[in-house]
Structure 1
Amino acid sequence: MSENFTRKQSRPSRLRTALVGTGYIAEFHAKAVRNIPGIELGAVCDADLKRAQTFAAAWNVPLAFSSLDEMLENARIDCIHLLAPPDLHHGLAKKALLKGVHVFLEKPMCTSVAESDELVQLALQNEVYLGVSHNFLFTDAFEQLRNVVISNVLGPIDQVTFNHLYELAQIRLGPFNSWMLRSPENVVLETGPHLISALLDIVGTPKIVSVLADRQMTLPAGQPVYRRWRVRADVGRTAVDMTMNFGPGFPQRTIYVRGLLGSATVDFDANTCVVDQRTPLNMDLDRYRRSRGIARQMREQARSVLSRYVFGKLKISKAGTPYQNSISASAACFYSSIKTGRPLDGRIAGDRGRTVIQTCAEIIAHANLVAKPAQTAPAVAPLACTPRVLVLGAAGFIGKELVKHLLSAGYCVRAMVRGTGLSPDEFQTDRLEIIRGDIRNKADLDAAMSGIEYVYHLAHAQCKTWDEYRLNDIEPTKLVGEVCLAAKVKRLVYTGTIDSYYAGAKAGTITENTPLDPNILRRNYYARAKAAAENILTAMHREQGLPLVIVRPGIVIGHGGNPFHWGVGRFTEDICEVWGDGDNKLPLVLVADVAAGLVNAIEVPQIEGHSFNLIDAPLLTAKEYLSELQRLAGYPLRVTPTRIANFYLSDLAKWVVKMAVRHPDRSRMPSYSDWESRTQKAIFNCDRTHADLKWTPASDRQRMIDEGIGIALEPWRQAIA
């Protein structure tokens, strides 16, 4: 047991906790907290205040803050779940510990041993708990393995093999500016704790024998990344092999343990643990009995996993997915110690987290990575001209291509991005100014408008609920329109989507004069949000003279895009469920042609108030696209044309469950028309776009294949090379 525990005698009967960071993982922690009696989720904070407020509203949390300092000053908080990026863990945790607040960290604990040591000492000095959520150790499967090892069922252990074979999609698709990809060792600090925490728990502290980091590739911003790490280590007489492979391929996260008396295999993705031991029977009967035993274990555990998921969805139990259950169990373990005053379970104790980071550091040191020379921030060269064009959303797939085309056309460009996803190194020019800003912040937009004549609005948020779309997509678009009016820009170009049309079998021919789907309120949130934003801007054009041009790109493919495009079908590893029969030509368009059309949208005179559909000639069906994708990728896909009714009925079943359990996002009843629109059986006539916008796309089948699929596959090819 860890010595990292509180000595305070006074423990409140009800604890108020807060989440620091409201990204992807926050929802899992919020659910975990809500499932623990005596714990109140009283506040959230995020550097992005609007995101914190949106999260707080969705989870009915009373308080939202933009900084930990502000939250600690203005709210009574007993504990925090620290869910910020790893490089912020040390500084934020230190502040909380010094205030006497318990801290529950998402892994990795910190980015260095020294930082981890300081936090452990601060927790002891301030008599508060410091935990690290090594949540994989609380899955049902690992709990079974742990019990098998502790009870000596397998006898002395002589071999443990860890496989983390799971694509890190950011390497191929971005964002390339995340902490995890900022330096080549960070992938070990990010992923390694899952494996190392399990190793420490079932065997002990390893002595690293050798490390090979290979399959190196260079990311767009120039930083290297190693897609495979192979580690050999010893723990006494036990040999340890560990493989982390971040390239594409069949996903598999397993632990294999071999002992003198048998073996056990954990599959984290299936949440199963299978034990294999000899029987007293002769060899042939023994093999049969063991195979039957393995099958029985798999069958029983698979049923258990499914039943827990179903009962959780129906609110019959608090169980959920294995991943959610593991986080819930890890958090419950942390709070149990706080309530009882007992030491933390060794799996989540701060000193264990420190040992995990130390082992990660030893693995990195043994890899002998070529050290990058210390770099100072490059001097920002003065711009050759004053920016006249502002691109909002310049770090995106279309945004980067647009910036490239604008620069080629001789414009001086200002790109406003939220993060660091756009680098001057990608363009090598003195006519591009990159600024940080948020389209939800009027002050940022006002500052970005200085000297600007033309504005492109390509930014959009990744949202799950309608409230999130309203707060992060629709209202910011209205703000962009208002700022453009105040700045008296010459033109605002807004990118909508053809998804806002109904494009199913009954659509017929769609032109620029075709109204958006009259049943848009029943459509998916993305299509609906884009339509709502268009309506707001169109009203501002009509009533206030906003110089607006709307463009609606089709299914955009090409350099920088994902060739496994959901406009073609629903992809899951090597499976593609085609929307319908897949026999009709799709409204495809190359990203280079979209960018060319967007440049024309500020150059062609007297087109304010018009909308344009950027779609090439009908060149490829979904089946033809997928055939070429397989040929160029060099591997087979399982292509399954799927009846729209199948997608609809599955969605309807989920909605029925949401209604039964009063899920917060239950207001939109599934629409068959929405699913059927994905077949894109409509005929798009873009004659007016060609004539009025002076736009001439490729209209070349081979170029569509070579650029749209072949070039887009290049990062994928590198990832598997």
Structure 2
Amino acid sequence: MSMNNKPIRTALLGAGYISSWHADALKRTPGVDLVAVCDLSRGAAEGIANAYGAPHVFTSLGDLLAANVADCVHVLTPPHLHADATAKILEAGLSAFVEKPFTLSSDDCRRLEALAQKNNVALGVNHNFLMLPSYDRLKADIETRLIGPIDSFEANWQFPLPPLRSGPYNLWMLRAPENILFEIGPHLFAFVADLFGELKNISVSMRNPVTLPGGVGHYQSWRIAGVAKGASVVLNLSLVEGEDNRSIRLRGLGAVASYNFAEDSYLRERASMQDIVAGPLARQLSVAGQAMGTGFSNAFRQLKSLNGLAPYGLSIQRAVDSFYASLKAGAPVDRRLSAGLAANATAMIEQALDVARPQFMPKAPPPARNVAPAKGETTLVIGGTGFIGRALCHALADKGYDVRVFSRGSGGGFDREDGRITVFTGSLKSDDDLRAAMEGVRSVFHLARATETSWEGYLENDVGVTKRIGEACLAAGVARLVYTGTIDSYDASQPDRPINEETPFDHDLTRRNLYARSKAACEAELKKLESERGLPLVIARPGIVIGEGGPLQHWGIAMWRGATACKLWGDGKNIMPFVLVDDVADGLVLALETDGAAGASFNLIGEPMLSSHDYFAAIEDAYGVAMRAKPTPLWTYYMVDMVKYWLKRYLVKKQGLTEPSFRDWKSRAQLSPYANETAKSVLGWTPEQDKQKFVERGVATANLFGVSKS
């Protein structure tokens, strides 16, 4: 299928996380126009379409295909939908570019490959990291026989997967134990498929078990071994917290080669031609020279692209470039993007799962809970699948409430014997969905938050959504709306000024980070509805929330550079506004039940106990790992931010940027002390008083690394 003389019209099917990476790549690809975005959520589709100038938005694949606006569709849906969607696209005479995993069945892979050939359309599969420059160098050394026949091959995906510990648990890859291997395994099996073709004599061992809310058991570490073309092959998959090791290493008869695909670096080690004295030095100098050259090359590329072409983005970019070059020329796609290679990788995953399934843990029944009698009252929790939201949902259910969780997906982690938590699936940008969700509801909690990169995005997807929720509460006649703001909206840059509920927000929020600014704007919209139309409102502002189910790498505490490495906000000696997640959930329930809370705001801050230094010392004691928490002057963050701001503004000509503020960086250090007397006196809130118990609940038993300490 050749398209030499006109731009290729492309659509995205799916508007989730990966869609922006594909949209960025398409924007950089000459001769390709992004014309449409399709997603079940119109709001999500419109968000991507508006950001990248796509004129068409659809909520069903059938409507997209019937509109005849595209020549090619990128399939970016959850994996279990890939096969059916791709078949419909190919049958309609359009080309398809599918994110890994291609499908969940090698038979489906080959069926779709045949369907593409029958209809004379292009079909490509994106296996990330097969298209990076460093992998090209590895392949060249293999093809020129410099490495020689391969004796052993090891591929590693040792990279934390926080949802295993802190959710959201409704992700497709967490719904069944085999899904993780289908989701992450293709990264490793694609290398085997490309270099060897197939893997035989497969054995599988697993460790680090974890049972998620809902009873699904997963193993966080897999070791898959076999033989391929006479070479010993080992694939290591580990999802616990720890240092990032995403790499392959192989030993050939002529050289040892290492490819770090997380960093796009390649090192080749060969025997030195020097004598026994100078040889070791010459070998290390060779390795150092290769590393230095790669480091400078990658740094220049990432600086030039303002990090848009870091390895992950670069791998997608090069895959997209290659696919569309083939499409324009009417040539077969690169073998690394082919359906045939994807079918081989999928077949190996199927074989590994056949070996592993007898070892899977049975689904665990929901734990017994001590609960109050049913109240016969329903409360709606928006944002209930998050860290705080899950704790709140169970706290409400334990007190006898029927809880309805508003979720974009099907929900997860709410299985209970009493059935008091149900999930309502809908879009927060749909008034009809909000009205339906609030039918029969007496109270509403709004904990949802947007994650955007522009103020316009926050206005639409956070402030606008919050206003819509407030108006829906008025229309439904709910008795109380409890909204969670953030202490980040305060100016916490002054050590000599305590902060309480009477303290005004920062006087110039336009110079603060977008999240702090947006949450303050959300509060303002709700307070306007309260004063003008009588919205029954309570606002709660949690501090830095820690506890079981929370992330290790909490950016309220530090700027993280890995599981055990971070840069502190300042010297890290001031007391931080930590609070336990269970205490926050209790405070939110009290904000609902306390008559005197109506119209008030509460800062849910724990008792002053720990500095950042103390927190990391507690982690070291509890988990036996040295934490590198580096004190970092706040002015250095500000200066780096200013440089980035000027580069984006004057080199890239990016619009709508917020000029950095030194006050914003000082506020991140939470230099001001917080008072929590209002919540304790008005709500009767009793956050943990004992420091030892606080550390035990917030750190030691919070399973921060995902590895058993026994």
Give the TM-score category using the shorter length. Answer: over 0.9
Report 1:355-394 matches (<5 A): 355-370=344-359, 386-394=376-384
**Structure 2 counterparts to residues 405-554 of structure 1, below 5 A:** 405-425=395-415, 427-505=416-494, 508-554=497-543
In structure 1, what residue type is equivalent to 2:459? R
Distance 1:233 1:606 in 2: 66
- 1:46 pairs with 2:46: no
**Aligned with 1:283: secondary structure?**
coil
Separation in 2, partners of 1:340, 1:400: 52
Match of 1:576 in 2: 566
Q: How does 1:243-282 map to 2 (within 5 A)?
A: 243-282=236-275
Alignment deviations for residues 476-508 of structure 1 (CA, whole Å, 9 cap, x no partner)? 111111111122222211111111111112661
Q: CA deviation at 1:571?
A: 2.2
For 1:176, the equivalent position in structure 2 comes to 169
Structure 2 Cα separation of the partners of residues 183 and 538 of structure 1: 43
Distance of aligned partners of 1:236 and 1:402 in 2 relative to their CA distance in 1, 3 Å threshold:
closer
Q: Is the 8 A contact 2:374 2:401 kept in 1?
A: no
Aligned to 2:313: 324
Give secondary structure in 1 for the equivalent of 2:207.
strand
Aligned to 1:84: 77
> Hey, what's the Cα distance between the residues in 2 that align with 1:501 and 1:593?
22
Q: Distance in 2 between matches of 1:135 and 1:601?
A: 47
SS of the residue aligned with 1:642? coil
In structure 2, distance between residues paired with 1:656 and 1:664 = 10
Alignment of 1:334 with 2:323, yes or no, is: yes
* CA-to-aligned-CA distance 1:562-586 (integer Å, 9 cap, x gap): 2443222122221121111222211
- Quick check: 2:76–2:99 contact (8 Å CA) kept in 1? yes
TM-superposed deviation, 1:393: 1.8
Q: Percent identity, aligned pairs only? A: 37
CA RMSD of aligned residues (A): 2.3
Q: Hey, what's the Cα distance between the residues in 2 that align with 1:44 and 1:507? A: 51
| TM-aligned CA deviation for residue 96 of structure 1 | 0.5
Within the candidate set 200, 209, 213, 2:193 is matched to 200
Per-residue displacement from partner, 1:229-268 (whole Å, max 9, x unpaired)? 2222222332222222222221112222222222221121
Aligned pair 1:154/2:147, yes or no?
A: yes
Residue equivalent to 1:380? none
Q: Does residue 590 of structure 2 align to residue 600 of structure 1?
A: yes
In 1, the alpha carbon distance for the partners of 2:544 and 2:342 equals 46
State the distance in 1 between where 2:486 and 2:86 align.
43
Contact 1:589 1:615 in 2 (8 A): yes
TM-aligned CA deviation for residue 12 of structure 1 = 4.7
Deviations 1:659-693 (A, max 9, x none): 02345464211111111101212122233332222
Q: How does 1:211-250 map to 2 (within 5 A)?
A: 211-250=204-243
Contact 1:248 1:720 in 2 (8 A): no
Relative to structure 1, the CA distance from residue 385 to residue 115 in structure 2 (aligned partners, 3 Å threshold; closer, same or farther) is farther
List per-residue Cα deviations over 1:113-141 (Å, max 9, x = no partner).
12212211110111101111123111111
Which residue number corresponds to residue 716 of structure 1? 705
- Residue 671 of structure 2 aligns with which residue? 681
Structure 1, 522-531 or 187-196: larger mean CA deviation: 187-196
Q: Distance in 2 between matches of 1:371 and 1:577?
A: 39
Q: Which amino acid aligns with 1:396?
A: G
* 1:107 Cα deviation from its structure 2 partner: 0.9
* C-alpha contact (below 8 Å) 1:570/1:577 kept by paired residues: yes
Q: Deviations over 1:421-448 (max 9, x none)?
A: 34442x3324434322333221122122
SS of residue matched to 1:619: coil
In the alignment, structure 1 segments of 5+ residues that lack a partner are: 1-5, 377-382
- Deviation of the 1:389 alpha carbon: 2.2
Shift of 1:372: 7.6
Deviation at 1:11, TM superposition (A): 5.5
Which range moves more in the overlay, 201-210 or 61-70?
Answer: 201-210
- TM-score (ref. length: structure 2): 0.94
1:100–1:126 Cα contact (<8 Å) kept = yes
Residue 298 of structure 1 pairs with residue 287 of structure 2 = no
Q: Helix, strand or coil: the match of 2:684?
A: coil
Conservation of the 8 A alpha-carbon contact between 1:510 and 1:685: yes
> Where do 5+ consecutive residues of structure 2 fail to align?
366-372
- Structure 1 counterpart SS, 2:177: coil
Task: Quote the Cα distance in structure 2 between the aligned partners of 1:353 and 1:665.
Answer: 40
Q: How far apart are the structure 1 equivalents of 2:43 and 2:443?
A: 27
Farther off after superposition, 345-354 or 507-516: 507-516
Q: Judging changes above 3 Å, is the alpha-carbon distance between structure 1 residues 147 and 453 closer, same or farther for their aligned structure 2 residues?
A: same
Q: Secondary structure at the match of 1:347?
A: helix
1:186 pairs with one of 161, 179, 199: 179
Matched, 1:613 2:606: no
Residue 373 of structure 1 and its aligned partner are, at CA, apart by: 7.9
1:76 Cα deviation after fit: 1.8
Match of 2:328, SS state, is helix
The alignment partner of 1:230 has SS state of strand
Q: Of 565, 576, 586, which aligns to 1:586?
A: 576
Question: TM-score, normalization: structure 1?
Answer: 0.93
Match of 1:658 in 2: 648
Shift of 1:57: 1.2
- Corresponding residue of 1:142: 135
Question: 2:369 aligns to what?
Answer: none
**Partners of 1:660 and 1:719 in 2: CA distance:** 50
Tell me how far apart the structure 1 counterparts of residues 142 and 542 of structure 2 sit (CA, whole Å).
57
Which amino acid letter does the alignment assign opposite residue 644 of structure 2?
Answer: K
What residue in structure 2 maps to residue 701 of structure 1? 691
